[in-house]
Amino acid sequence: MALARQGAAVILNGRTEAHLDAAKRAFSDLGLSAHTLRFDTADREATANAIKAIQDQYGDIDILINNVGYRDRRSVQEFAVGDMDRMLANNLSAPFELSRLLAPGMMEKGWGRIINVSSVVATFASDGDAAYVAAKGGLESLTRAMAVEYGKHGVTVNAISPGFFLTEPNRDMASNEALNQWLQGRTILGRWAEPEELAGIAVFLASNESGYVTGQTIQVDGGLSARL
């Protein structure tokens, strides 16, 4: 939404038409417009076909935001064969593949922005969440590696690392009084963040003003990572 307000033509991706329709209505309610395209980013063939359809209809993409966040909160010993593959397919392989498919158009223009959405748990691991921690840690390493590879072509690659945000999957956690007390003491700002508080950093990293910023993971965590 923040990018749309700045004049970007936005294409939203999701796995279900219902979620995409709801997102499009939310844009419309604010006087904004967005295109939608349903496909599963963990499906390589579907992804390749979708990217071709986007390029055929809209041309090359200038800004890619990899915001996939599949999560499976279980201990290592509770994971069965193949469970880790699904975690990596969604959280690491999908951003890799989308970047691989879209970067050539950016490089040809000599300008592009790739923004990966990581998580504070990539730095501060939590119990019973090893697979997600590992996947997001890999995404931050991929961010640095792609920044090195694409920088000479005018394409920057950065990551945003959110802390505790009141997104839809986290709403139930926000009612946990013990967690709220911990959060108040652990973060400098002492509260949960609203999703809108990611807007500024996303717009900055997508803009010309961030042209000398690449290979970075920027923490948006209320000061959690700055405090012992």
Confidence of residue 48 (pLDDT cuts 50, 70, 90): very high
Q: Is the pLDDT of residue 118 over 90?
A: yes
Set out the domains of the chain in order of their start, with CATH numbers: 69-226 (3.40.50.720)
Rounded to whole angstroms, the Cα distance separating 192 from 186 reads: 11
Confidence of residue 131 (pLDDT cuts 50, 70, 90): confident
172-178: average pLDDT: 86
Q: Is the pLDDT of residue 26 over 80?
A: yes
Q: Is the pLDDT of residue 121 over 80?
A: yes
pLDDT at residue 167 in the model: 86
pLDDT at residue 174 in the model: 84
- Residues 36/43, Cβ–Cβ less than 8 Å: no
Positive or negative, the CA dihedral 42, 46, 48, 54 is: negative
Q: What percent of the chain has pLDDT over 70?
A: 99
Rounded to whole angstroms, the Cα distance separating 154 from 137 reads: 25
- Of 30-39, 53-62, 79-88, 89-98, which gets the smallest average pLDDT? 79-88
Radius of gyration of the chain (CA): 18
Rounded to whole angstroms, the Cα distance separating 43 from 108 reads: 26
- Give 89's DSSP letter: I
Q: Which of 70, 132, 150, 212 is catalytic?
A: 132
Rounded to whole angstroms, the Cα distance separating 128 from 103 reads: 35
Helix (H) or strand (E) holding 52: helix 44-58
Rounded to whole angstroms, the Cα distance separating 202 from 116 reads: 10
For the whole prediction, is pTM greater than 0.85?
yes
Closest Cα to residue 216, out of 150, 151, 167, 147? 147
Supply the mean pLDDT for the chain.
Answer: 93
pLDDT at residue 126 in the model: 77
Q: Is the pLDDT of residue 149 over 90?
A: yes
Long-range pairs, 210-213, Cβ under 8 A, ≥24: 210/113, 210/156, 210/158, 211/156, 213/156, 213/158
188-198: average pLDDT: 95
- Residues 163/222, Cβ–Cβ less than 8 Å: yes
Start-to-end Cα distance in the chain? 34
Rounded to whole angstroms, the Cα distance separating 178 from 184 reads: 10
**More confident: 169 or 98:** 98
pLDDT at residue 211 in the model: 97
One-letter identity of residue 225? S
Confidence of residue 184 (pLDDT cuts 50, 70, 90): very high
Confidence of residue 172 (pLDDT cuts 50, 70, 90): confident
30-43: average pLDDT: 95
Q: Is 212 a catalytic residue?
A: no
